[in-house]
Amino acid sequence: MNEKQKKKPWAGRFKSELDPIVQKYTRSVHVDRRLAPYDIQGSRAHVRMLAAQGLVTSRDEEQILRALGQIEEEIESGQFPYRDELEDIHMNIEYRLQEIAGEAGGRIHTGRSRNDQVALDLKMLCLQTAIGWRAQILEIQKVLLERAQELKTSLFPGWTHLQAAQPLSWGHYLLAFGEMLGRDDRRLAFFQELHSTSPLGAGALAGSTLPLDPERSAQELGFAASFANSYDVVGDRDFLLELLQIACQLMLHLSRLAEDFLYFSSTAVNWIELPDSLCTGSSMMPQKKNLDVLELARGKTASVLGHATAVACLIKGLPTSYHRDLQQDKEHLFATIDAVIGTLEVIPLVVSGFQINQERVQNAMKQGFLMATDLAEYLVTRGTPFRVAHERVGKLVAYCLEEGLTLEQLSLEKLQELAPECGPEVREVLKLESFLRRRWHKGSSGLVSIEQQIAHWGERIGALS
């Protein structure tokens, strides 16, 4: 047996060396080294628990803790000797611990398996990620709120089916994303609560004959509780998949925002403009100013959906308990985290930076009969059944289309000819400026509601930051 084979903790049972092709195929340290800080934290809690339970001496505990400190420094400074032949980050750290602390290092894996170890590390990383995402979401919400306040009375043509529908305030529009992200934030908060269970002490699948105290290490690591069932917890990846599912929802929201902004700033629409600092050019066409950053937000959303689907497929065919397939979960997790963090970083720049091309928007507002529904509702207030009102306004719109007029340009006589219920105040109803004033109920796009929303988010964000 050569030096490399001796390093394997399971070497005792094996008669021949691992084939190098299999070694290369099964290793994961190039990916899971990202778990190192959590592995060290988990090992610290584990050795303290072992010492408290009399399973290692306080001298061993001290030596192990000191060696873990050194390993931490080596990793941070890029000096840590990663070894592919030791498969993963867990065995790399344990091996290095033995190199530094000698026999004491050989005691760290007492009552522990890589199965509970990897579940612990992953869970800590996922919970930490949720904290980070929530902080980033809060930053976006602050920017959304600021711009909503600034643009609460500024209107543009809202759409359904991509067809002009009714006016919408930019403030109301931006606050819609505040709501979407608010739901994502609550999903993450519930995620943190639901998965605050430490797997440490579950061992390979069945716990240990040694007098472990999983509750102690759980507490030290900041979990609300330790696992209730060792068999459940070693194979549990609900938390990982759930984080990716939350990422899907979050990215879908950001992708829709990106798509909207791409549309708003397209050459044909041209309602908004982004600062040059957020845009890129073309290698061939000198005049181009592209919003690649938003296209990439859309594109990265596709990747995240793929990663979540991949993990769901990974788990779908698995029997209960730990299986090595689960090693693959990390690639998807890490790629998702990077895509989400990057997108959450970029979106606030876009929201704070966009400028409205008022002339283009005002022109667009004159088209599409945006006040037709308000007119029909005005007829309802004059006693007309809504179905009849709808028909009458439809006829007025048809007349305008024939004559090349807007509803606002119609004379009172013409309005009364096709909709006899109209009084002189109808002129006021048809003015775009009345749109924000004539809606009162909660959640509507009227100014009262927009101000309520701003106050609500101001309070929430104030309380959180």
Active site residues: 161, 282
- The least CB distance from residue 168 to ligand ARG, in Å, is 49
- The least CB distance from residue 326 to ligand ARG, in Å, is 5
Report the residue number, 10 or 402, with the smaller CB distance to ligand ARG: 10
Binding segment toward ligand ARG, per CB under 6 A, in 69-77, 258-266, 321-329, 413-421: 321-329
When asked if residue 230 is in the footprint of ligand ARG (CB under 6 A), the reply is no
- The least CB distance from residue 237 to ligand ARG, in Å, is 10
DSSP classification of residue 104 = G
Q: How far is CA 71 from CA 80, 89, 115, 267, 376, in A?
A: 7, 12, 22, 55, 73
Contacts of 86 (CB under 8 A, 6+ apart): 7, 8, 29, 92, 95
- The least CB distance from residue 118 to ligand ARG, in Å, is 4
Binding segment toward ligand ARG, per CB under 6 A, in 69-77, 99-107, 135-143, 323-331: 323-331
When asked if residue 92 is in the footprint of ligand ARG (CB under 6 A), the reply is no
Q: Which one of residues 41, 92, 98, 115 is an interface residue with ligand ARG (CB under 6 A)?
A: 115
When asked if residue 326 is in the footprint of ligand ARG (CB under 6 A), the reply is yes
Burial of 374 (0-12, 13-18, 19+ CB in 10 A): buried
User: Is residue 165 within a helix (H) or strand (E), and if so which, with residue range?
Assistant: strand 163-169
When asked if residue 43 is in the footprint of ligand ARG (CB under 6 A), the reply is no
Kindly write out the interface string for residues 266-305 of this chain, putting x where it contacts ligand ARG by CB under 6 A and - elsewhere.
Answer: ----------------------------------------
Contacts of 391 (CB under 8 A, 6+ apart): none
Instruction: Please spell the DSSP secondary structure of 60-98, one letter per residue.
Output: HHHHHHHHHHHHHHHHHTT-----GGG-SHHHHHHHHHH
- The least CB distance from residue 334 to ligand ARG, in Å, is 12
Which contacts (CB < 8 Å, 24+ apart) does range 451-458 have?
Answer: 451/152, 453/148, 453/172, 453/175, 453/178, 454/145, 454/148, 454/149, 454/152, 454/171, 454/175, 457/141, 457/144, 457/145, 457/148, 457/175, 457/178, 457/182, 458/145
Binding segment toward ligand ARG, per CB under 6 A, in 61-69, 111-119, 179-187, 291-299: 111-119
Site for ligand ARG in 61-90 (CB under 6 A): 88
- The least CB distance from residue 90 to ligand ARG, in Å, is 6
Report the residue number, 118 or 430, with the smaller CB distance to ligand ARG: 118
What's the token pair of residue 100? Answer: 């530094």
Binding site for ligand ARG (CB under 6 A): 28, 32, 88, 114-115, 118, 324, 326-327
